[in-house]
Amino acid sequence: MNTTTASPTTTTTTLQLGRASYFGSRSLYDWLFALLLLGGAVFVWQRYGAAMNGYEEGILIGAVPSLIALGWFWGPLRTLSLGVGAASLMAISLYLRQTDAFGADLAAAEQVFLLKYMLSSQSAILWMSVLVFMSTIAYWAGLLAGSEAAQRIGSWLAWGSVVMALIGTFVRWFESHQIGPDIGHIPVSNLYEVFVLFVWMTTLIYLYYERHYATRSLGGFVMLIVSAAVGFLLWYTVSRGAHEIQPLVPALQSWWMKIHVPANFVGYGTFALAAMVALAYLVKTAPPRSLWIGLVGVPGAMLLVLAGFWAFGGVSPEVSQALLKTMRMLGGCLALFAFTIVARGVIGARTPAPEVLDDVMYRAIALGFAFFTIATILGAFWAAEAWGGYWSWDPKETWALIVWLNYASWLHMRLVKGLRGQVAAWWSLVGLVVTTFAFLGVNMFLSGLHSYGEL
């Protein structure tokens, strides 16, 4: 009997010839984008390098490869960056046609047509506001009517709002330097400026997820929170004249502000985005009774308690105004939640599968938590430089820690215990309440070292 010995199994590795390397796969547009960014950085260094300190030089050097990498990672950022840069430079050139003792004459904002109606910081931010509202309407019209065309228009309008917000931000930065010596600063120093930051950053992050998951049906939910921010921004502008550029208080005259505040608002924006996706998840999957109890009953009870406290509590005028603002906000939430519950059949049929919603929620919170952690660490270094200590249990710092612990717990429960579904979604919505109080409530009801933008 012959025995056949099987030959040892061999593994053949096939070289995939012809596969381009990372750099070899870059398009001509990619390299043109990188070249323009590099050229712009060289120009800035030559023109303004003498006015920069070592930290600012480091930020400039680090920004160039970071922006190139982001543009190569997500193609639309290339066109966005180049378009915003070209429009901002056009606005600056229009200002520079008229000069005064400090440089460009800001009176040109009321005399030059393009500046007055489009490219001055205030005009651009007003356009941002209009486009946000129009985008929200278009997204919801498309969702309720099942119209892909309307949702596509909503997406275009959302992109337009990002463009105008960024133009407004960069032009405002330039304008601040034309007012007088030592006035100029990056526009992230007060509530008006950081709300603009919140609007474009939240919208841009959503637009990335929109393209990544190939669905526009969440645009109506996310743009609702952006519209709420714009509504606050407009009220704050009218009631406080907040659009006026003011000198920085001494504690804010630090390069730390340039990185701490934007990192913080990546966290705020993604946490808000995750909460609105959680709302879509609950509308799609939760029983109507729990929705009425959770989404309407809880805010309604809070509204009644606040109304009673306002009417019979004998509070000071400042606290009374804060209570009225909070009650108006709760009233708007009640109307919104009631509408989504009534229309839950249509909404649930046209939003993505629960697994997709859950994944978006997780990714948004994970991204926001990473940046919020970095921002908190940077804030501690800034506090040590400004006030002599890394941590002082100031109300803003305390609530920032509460926010961090909340999302750290959420991520821990998901990664270790497999938290999913409605519990995770409800938790995300509660997280938005906690984050909103840390962002605005502290300014409304408390005071401390961080009270630079009182309401």
DSSP string, 266-316: HHHHHHHHHHHHHHHHHHHHS-HHHHIIIIIIHHHHHHHHHHHHHHHS---
Distance CA 170, CA 199 (A): 15
3-state helix, strand, coil in the chain (%, to 5): 75, 0, 20
> Is the pTM value of this prediction over 0.85?
yes
pLDDT of residue 203: 97
Domain 74-246 has CATH 1.20.120: yes
Distance CA 19, CA 14 (A): 12
- In the block, tokens 């950085």 appear at 41
Encoded amino acid at 362, one letter: Y
How many other C-beta atoms lie within 10 A of the C-beta of residue 378?
18
Where are the chain's structural domains?
A: 74-246, 270-455
The number of residues in the chain equals 455
With beta carbons less than 8 A apart as the criterion, state whether 167 and 91 touch.
yes
Dihedral pair phi/psi, residue 393, rounded to 5°: 55, 35
pLDDT of residue 57: 83
Distance CA 70, CA 73 (A): 5
Mean pLDDT for each consecutive 10-residue tract of the chain (455 residues)?
A: 46 50 87 94 85 79 92 94 94 82 77 91 96 97 95 97 96 87 82 93 97 95 94 84 80 79 93 96 92 84 77 68 74 86 92 95 96 92 80 85 96 92 94 89 64 53
